[in-house]
Amino acid sequence: MKFPKRRKKKRPGQEGHLNTCAWCRREIPEDAEVFGVSGKFRPGVNMKDQEGKVVPLVFGGEGRVVPAIITPADSPAKRDGKDLMFMLCSEKCCNELAEGVRRDMRSLFEAEKM
Ligand SMILES: [Zn+2]
């Protein structure tokens, strides 16, 4: 069986993986609604070197790798108290991610649905 070739439109200045759901890795179509979860670091957590980068976080049990966007110091999100963000495809993924954070990442940061 042959699959049609998928043409990937690349938006300039955007990494491909930012169009993928952080939790289930499904591709988020360009015209689809994007859901987000933001996180706030616990006191003492310092990820200054990673600001503006996408950092893979490994969640406990399942060893699931979830890409987090570390917000740059001068961004509106950061001023809003959001230290990191996740892009997600659905409400369900938001809930599962938030649940995973509570379970595996509580010492690093707390998550909040955006
Ligand atoms: Zn998803």
Q: How far is the CA of 44 from the centre of ligand 1 (A)?
A: 30
Query: What does the pLDDT look like over 22-34, one tens digit per residue?
Result: 999 999 998 999 9
Ligand 1 mean position, distance from CA 97 (Å): 9
How far is ligand 1, taken at its centre, from the CA of residue 21, in Å?
Answer: 5
- What percentage of the chain carries pLDDT values higher than 70? 84
CB 51 within 8 A of CB 30: no
CA of 25 to the centre of ligand 1 (A): 6
Q: pTM value?
A: 0.81
Where helices occur in 46-86 by DSSP H, the ranges are: 76-79
